[in-house]
Structure 1
Amino acid sequence: MNHNETLERPESFRSWFLDKLLMGMSWPEYVRSLITPFNILAAVILSIGIPIIALRFMHGLVEVTHASNDYPWGLFLGWGLFGGVPLSATGFVMATAYYIFGFKDYKPLVRLGVLTGFMGYLFAVVYLLIDLGRPWRIYYPMFVGFGTASVLFLVAWHVATYLTVQFLEFSPAILEWLRSRRVRRWATMITIAMTIAGIILSTLHQSALGALFLLAPGKLHPLWYSTYIPHFFLASSIYAALVMVIAVSALCARFLRHSADGYFLDNLDRLTIGLGKGAAIGMFVYFALKLVGVAHDDNWALLNTGYGKWFLVEILGFVLLPALIITWGVKLGNATVVRIGAFYSILGILVNRLNVSIIAFNWKLPEHLHHIIPPWKEVMVVLTITVIHILIFRWIVSRMPVIRQEPEFEQETH
């Protein structure tokens, strides 16, 4: 190696790195591309929200939430953890369908599902860190105090382990982006094993989040409390994953079209209708299970109360109705109608998890509905984390082969 080659290598690496980072644009072009209405709005939200998050860690939870011994949970867990985790089952469901059950047609959506799931779990941990009174002790369930009789022990271990599993499942996309063929070959060899591990971990901790509420029969309203609640959580997470993939793929096709290849775009409507079939079946099954829960506990009389009417709004308006919309879209072969039903279904999942964790929890306490209204700072923190989530997701999809295939790896399927 001569002296000139030694001098050229750092420059070539720098050019390669900048090309990856800036997507082939120069710095001025890249900066200009960032000036968009969404980015400006995101910058405003972050400029308000990040200082509030900093205040939370400097002065405690009292700065951002009205949490108390009676009301320990708010939007951080109700929205970010209980609402986010079922919508993050996308990796588990799509990888299982593709690698285990052989639905090879859905290959364009597998990486998108895995990335959506990984990001969802990652930010569920972020919400948890913000909500914990002593976040620096988050590793205690892993290494210090195991608490094997606790449901939270199972949830903590499974979420942490599954986060690692999903990273390994997504790693081939990262390695293709980095052109690391040798390491990618190793990563693809463990894909089946990681998928099987994901099935075990996901089914357990999705239901375990529901099992957590079995410990509070007197606090959770009888219409939402049931010995079947772990099954409700698991069943709803499966259709939640399918509608989430439908929604995210539609948003990617609309706003990140430049990062998608023709194979993804040409097949998206057909795959959306296929996912809609599975989602509709899952929603009808879940609706039937909810009725079984009411019948099993003989809670029919409670349906005529205020909470009962809200329960009916949830299962009729946010489960049965979107299921019928999706079914109608599938029957018509109209992917747009299926997508409308999917977005509606996502709202239904969030309504259910907020009902269980906040609205119908501690329902007997005086002025309950007044106490559960979150302060504006708590809402702002949730909005800030949501924006950060979207920005990081967009950054990854814009650069890595998530909704497109790298030509040099196209024949090396796995």
Structure 2
Amino acid sequence: MNGARTPEIRSFGDFVSFFLSELKPRGKLITPFNVISLPIMIIGLILIVIRLVKGLGAVTNLSNQFPWGLWIGFDVITGVAFAGGAYTLCFIVYILNVEKYHSIVRATVLNGLLAYMFYAGAIFLDIGRWWNIYNPMIGNKFGVQAVLFLVAWHFLLYMIAEAVEFSPTVAEWLGLKRVRKILSGMTIGAVVAGVFLSTLHQSALGALALMTKGKLHPLWFTEFIPLLFFVSSIFGGLSMVIFEGSITHKVFHFKLSQDKIKAYGDILAGLSRICAGAMLAYLLLKLLVLAHTHAWHYLNTPWGYWYLFEVVGLTFVPMLIFIAGARSKNNLAIRAAAMLTLLGVMLNRLNHVFIAYKWYIPLSQRYYPSIGEIIVTLTIIFAEVWVFRWIVHRMPVLEGPPAWAKEEVEE
């Protein structure tokens, strides 16, 4: 395991010199990921410029009939659900004091912070008049009681909370001992605020779908969408922790101690049990919603089969795999269940945004993402991965705090 180098920064000049030295590439430059992602990101940046200059119609297939598409459905609403692992894990570790998962908190918080930062960028791109992006923050035009006002402020405040949670890692990277001590003292407060804010805006994103009454298929529309979005963000977020963590442990294994590598199997088993419990609660809620809305008769229709594929095939089945994987401590089964769960959460969000929206319209008149929308989405994902990789290569994210920080905690 490589030890993190602690600089001595006593002036702004020292910081600039250190930061410039850290910009030097780490690892191989020619890799399959770099070769695939770089051209896509270059094309994506060009498309983003075209979109900002010429408008949404120049790049997307959005219309007045279908104002929300891939950028909102996947980049924002699905992405926020996937980032739910940060608030869930912080609640487990810092509030419930379950130290078992402490070793993966930093990577999870970093992933959540970057996700929100890049998803905010996706919102920026999806707004028709992007120069008015500040309006939701001040409640202009629609008032401070609007759901968008709530979501906008929760996004901003939650990003600040996650930045505070991750800030001790940055202080350790820079060798700022006094600053690190102050920031560490703010962690619990930031966690409490983050859990509170994330709980609200996960459900608030579901509240946006309440505006689609009469347009969203009855199998998906219910006044309980906010609650369902919140519960699904728990197992969706933790599934992303399993998926992302497994890749991170493989790519950055040289930064991990043998103890952390050996303990990771128990961590995966524990996360899979939590996922299974949350998925069981979600499925029971779905049954109650079906009974409440009297939508049973739709199940024996093409849309009903699609609904069952989402609920049974991509929620109930992976729940069973999670349970079996946790019992046998089969990491491969747990990872497979996590991937199926991520597909299920993604499909659920896309169904709410545009697949099951205006379900009565012929297929030929429906919205389909353009190639430009797909490339921009891939650009956002790849850019996040590049930034995540850059930070993990340089900051003590996986290996944990340096020796001086550990001594400070013991004191």
In structure 1, give the amino acid aligned to 2:80: V
Partner of 2:203: 207
Tell which has more relative contact order, 1 or 2 (C-alpha 8 A, sep 6+). Answer: 2
Query: Per the alignment, do residues 69 and 13 of structure 1 end up closer, same or farther by CA in structure 2, a change over 3 Å counting?
Result: closer
Cα distance in 2 for partners of 1:282, 1:238 equals: 7
Q: 2:328: which partner in 1? A: 332
Alpha-carbon deviation of 1:306? 1.1
Report the Cα offset of residue 342 of structure 1: 0.9
2:291 aligned with 1:295: yes
- Give the corresponding residue for 1:363: 359
Distance apart, 1:368 and its partner CA: 4.3
Equivalent residue, structure 2, for 1:124: 119
Query: Please, which of 26, 44, 52 is the counterpart of residue 47 of structure 2?
Result: 52
Letter in 1 for 2:274: G
Contact 1:206–1:237 (CA<8 Å) still a contact in 2? yes
Please list the CA deviations of residues 92-119 of structure 1 after superposition, one character each: whole Å capped at 9, or x if unmatched. Answer: 1111111100101111011111111111
1:109 to 104, 108, 118: 104
Residues 81 and 124 of structure 1 are in contact (CA less than 8 Å); yes or no, is this contact kept in structure 2?
Answer: yes
Measure, in 1, the Cα distance between the counterparts of 2:261 and 2:26: 28
Q: 1:263 to 1:143 in 2, by over 3 A?
A: farther
Q: CA deviation at 1:20?
A: 3.4
Q: CA deviation at 1:18?
A: 4.7
Query: Secondary structure in 2 aligned to 1:401?
Result: coil
8 Å contact 2:265–2:331 — kept in the other structure? yes
- Distance in structure 1 (CA, Å) of the matches to 2:168 and 2:184: 6
The one of 339, 342, 347 equivalent to 1:343 is: 339
Query: In 1, Cα distance between the equivalents of 2:52 and 2:149?
Result: 24
Q: Distance in 1 between matches of 2:344 and 2:258?
A: 32
Instruction: Indicate if the aligned counterparts of 1:259 and 1:399 stay in contact, CA closer than 8 A.
Output: no
Partner of 1:183: 179
* Structure 1 position 31, deviation (Å): 7.7
**1:42 is the counterpart of 2:37:** yes
User: 1:91, 1:117 within 8 Å by CA — same for their partners in 2?
Assistant: yes
Contact in 1 for aligned 2:139/2:149 (Cα 8 Å) = no
Q: Which runs of structure 2 are paired with 1:257-336 in the superposition (5 Å)?
A: 257-336=253-332
| Superposition deviation, residue 19 in structure 1 | 4.6
Question: How far apart, CA to CA, are the structure 2 residues paired with 1:262 and 1:293?
Answer: 47
TM-score for both structures, normalised by structure 1:
0.92
TM-aligned CA distance change 1:12 to 1:212, over 3 Å: closer
1:3 aligned residue = none
CA contact (8 A) 2:84 2:236 kept: yes
Q: TM-score, normalised by structure 2?
A: 0.92
Which amino acid is the alignment partner of residue 389 of structure 1?
A: E
For 1:149, the aligned partner's letter is Q
* Residue deviations 1:117-149 (CA, integer Å, cap 9, x gap): 111111110110110111222112223627122
> Are the structure 2 counterparts of residues 275 and 412 from structure 1 closer, same or farther at C-alpha, using a change threshold of 3 Å?
farther
Q: Hey, what does 2:8 align to over in structure 1?
A: none
Q: For the Cα contact (< 8 Å) 1:259–1:397, is it kept in 2?
A: no
SS of residue in 1 equivalent to 2:407: coil
User: Paired residue for 2:398?
Assistant: 403
Answer yes or no: is the 8 Å Cα contact 2:82–2:233 preserved in 1.
yes
Count residues with an aligned counterpart. Answer: 399
Counterpart code for 1:274: G
Instruction: After TM superposition, list the pairs within 5 Å mapping 1:148-187 onto structure 2.
Output: 148-187=144-183
CA 13–76 in structure 1, closer or farther in 2 if over 3 Å, else same: closer
The alignment-based identity, stated in percent, is 38
The 3 A distance-change label for structure 1 pair 114 and 79 is same
CA distance in 2, matches of 1:370, 1:391: 37
Is 1:98 paired with 2:97? no
CA distance in 2, matches of 1:168, 1:105: 22
How far has the Cα of 1:74 moved from its partner?
0.7
1:232 corresponds to which residue?
Answer: 228
Match of 1:6 in 2: none
Task: Give the corresponding residue for 1:391.
Answer: 386
1:249 maps to which residue?
245
Residue pair 2:219, 2:307 contacting (<8 A) in 1 also: yes
SS in 1 for 2:143: coil
Q: 1:210 to 1:69 in 2, by over 3 A?
A: same
Task: Please give the per-residue CA displacement for 1:247-270, whole angstroms capped at 9, x wherever unaligned.
Answer: 111010111223334343231111
Distance (whole Å) between structure 2 residues aligned to residue 258 and residue 142 of structure 1: 43
Structure 1: tracts of 5 or more residues without a match: 1-8, 23-29
For structure 2, which runs of at least 5 residues remain unmatched after alignment? 1-10
Q: Distance in 1 between matches of 2:325 and 2:98?
A: 21
Closer/same/farther in 2, CA of residues 176 and 263 from structure 1, 3 Å limit: farther
Whole-angstrom CA distance in 1 between matches of 2:64 and 2:14: 59
How far off its partner does 1:225 sit? 0.4
1:61 to 56, 63, 75: 56
Q: Which position in structure 2 is the counterpart of 1:221?
A: 217
Residue in structure 2 matched with residue 79 of structure 1 by the alignment:
74
SS at match of 2:23: helix
2-side partners of 1:223 and 1:10: how far apart? Answer: 59
Report the Cα offset of residue 282 of structure 1. 0.7
User: After superposition, what is the alpha-carbon deviation per residue over 1:333-392, rounded to whole angstroms, capped at 9, x for unaligned?
Assistant: 222211111121111110110111110112123x24652211111111111111111111
On the 8 A contact 1:325/1:337 being kept in 2, the answer is: yes
Question: How far off its partner does 1:396 sit?
Answer: 1.2
Residue in structure 2 matched with residue 377 of structure 1 by the alignment: 372
The 1:369–1:316 alpha-carbon spacing in structure 2 relative to 1, beyond 3 Å, is: farther
Query: Structure 2: how far apart are the matches of 1:21 and 1:337?
Result: 38
CA contact (8 A) 2:325 2:334 kept: yes
Contact conserved, 2:62 with 2:367, CA < 8 A, in 1? no
